[in-house]
Structure 1
Amino acid sequence: MTASSIPASSLRGHGARLTIDLAALGENWRRLVDAAGSETAAVVKADAYGCGIPRVAPALWAAGCRTFFVAHLSEAAAARAALPPEAVIYVLNGFPPGSAGAYRALDVRPVLGSREEIAEWAQAGEGAPAALHVDTGMNRLGLGPDEALALAGGPLLSRVAPALLMSHLVSAEVPGDPITARQAGSFARLRAAFPGVPASLANSSGVFLGESVRHDLARPGYALYGGNPTPGRPNPMRPVVRLEAEIAQIREVGPGETAGYNARWTAPGPRRLATLSLGYADGFPRAASNRGEALVGGVRCPFVGVVSMDLVILDVTEVPVEALRRGAPAVLIGDALDLDTVGRNAGTIGYEILTGLGSRYDRRHLDEAGHRAPG
Structure 2
Amino acid sequence: MSEFEVSDIDVDFEDEIIDEFDIAPARLTIDLGALADNWREMAKRSGKARTAAVVKADAYGLGLEDCGVAFYEAGARDFFVAVVQEGMTLRNYAPDARIYVLSGIWPGQEKLFFENDLVPVLVSEEQLAFWMSVTAEFGEHPCALHIDTGFNRLGIPLEDAIAFADDVSRPASFSPVLVLSHLHSGDTPSSELNRRQLESFQRVAAAFEGVPASLAASSGTFLGAEYHFDLTRPGIAVYGGEAVGGVKNPMRPVAKAEARIIQIRDARKGETVSYGGTTTLSRDSRLAIVSAGYADGYLRSLSGSGVPLRGAVPEGAFGFIAGHRVPVVGRVTMDLTIFDVTDVPASKIQAGDYVELFGPNMPLDEVARAGGTIGYELLTSLGLRYERRYIYPDD
Cα deviation code 1:267-300 (max 9, x no counterpart): 1221110011111111111110111110121211
Conserved 8 A contact 1:118-1:160: no
What one-letter code is carried by the residue in structure 1 that aligns with 2:326?
C
**Corresponding residue number in structure 2 for 1:92:** 102
**SS at structure 2 position matched to 1:307:** coil
Identity of aligned residues (%): 46
Q: 18, 26, 44: which is aligned to 2:28? A: 18
What one-letter code is carried by the residue in structure 2 that aligns with 1:65?
A
TM-superposed CA distance for 1:211, in Å, is: 2.3
Superposition pairs for residues 116-265 of structure 1, below 5 Å? 116-125=126-135, 126-154=139-167, 155-156=169-170, 158-265=172-279
TM-superposed CA distance for 1:32, in Å, is: 0.4
TM-score (norm 1): 0.94
**Corresponding residue number in structure 2 for 1:326:** 351
Residue 341 of structure 2 is aligned to residue 316 of structure 1: yes
Residue 61 of structure 2 is aligned to residue 50 of structure 1: yes
Cα deviation code 1:309-341 (max 9, x no counterpart): 111100111111111211122111123311111
What one-letter code is carried by the residue in structure 2 that aligns with 1:119?
A
**SS at structure 1 position matched to 2:142:** coil
The gaps in structure 1 that reach 5 residues or longer are none
1:10/1:226 CA distance change after superposition, 3 Å: closer
**Corresponding residue number in structure 1 for 2:294:** 280
Deviation larger for 72-81 or 21-30: 72-81
Q: 330, 339, 350: which is aligned to 2:364? A: 339
Deviation larger for 302-311 or 257-266: 257-266
In structure 1, how many angstroms separate the alpha carbons of the residues matched to 2:211 and 2:266? Answer: 66
**Corresponding residue number in structure 1 for 2:91:** 80
Superposition pairs for residues 31-50 of structure 1, below 5 Å? 31-37=41-47, 38-50=49-61
In structure 2, how many angstroms separate the alpha carbons of the residues matched to 1:101 and 1:10? Answer: 42
TM-superposed CA distance for 1:159, in Å, is: 3.0
TM-score (norm 2): 0.89
What one-letter code is carried by the residue in structure 2 that aligns with 1:233?
V
What one-letter code is carried by the residue in structure 2 that aligns with 1:71?
A
In structure 1, how many angstroms separate the alpha carbons of the residues matched to 2:115 and 2:341? Answer: 55
Conserved 8 A contact 1:201-1:213: yes
**Corresponding residue number in structure 2 for 1:351:** 376
**Corresponding residue number in structure 2 for 1:114:** 124
Please, what is the CA RMSD of the aligned residues?
1.6
Please tell me whether Structure 1 or Structure 2 has the larger radius of gyration of its CA atoms: 2
**SS at structure 1 position matched to 2:174:** coil
TM-superposed CA distance for 1:150, in Å, is: 1.2
Aligned residues: 366
TM-superposed CA distance for 1:248, in Å, is: 1.1
In structure 1, how many angstroms separate the alpha carbons of the residues matched to 2:339 and 2:171? Answer: 59
In structure 2, how many angstroms separate the alpha carbons of the residues matched to 1:32 and 1:134? Answer: 24
TM-superposed CA distance for 1:100, in Å, is: 1.6
TM-superposed CA distance for 1:61, in Å, is: 0.4
1:107/1:7 CA distance change after superposition, 3 Å: farther
**SS at structure 1 position matched to 2:79:** strand
Conserved 8 A contact 1:20-1:365: yes
Q: 13, 18, 39: which is aligned to 1:9? A: 18
What one-letter code is carried by the residue in structure 1 that aligns with 2:77?
R
Cα deviation code 1:236-295 (max 9, x no counterpart): 111100112221100011122112122222212211100111111111111101111101
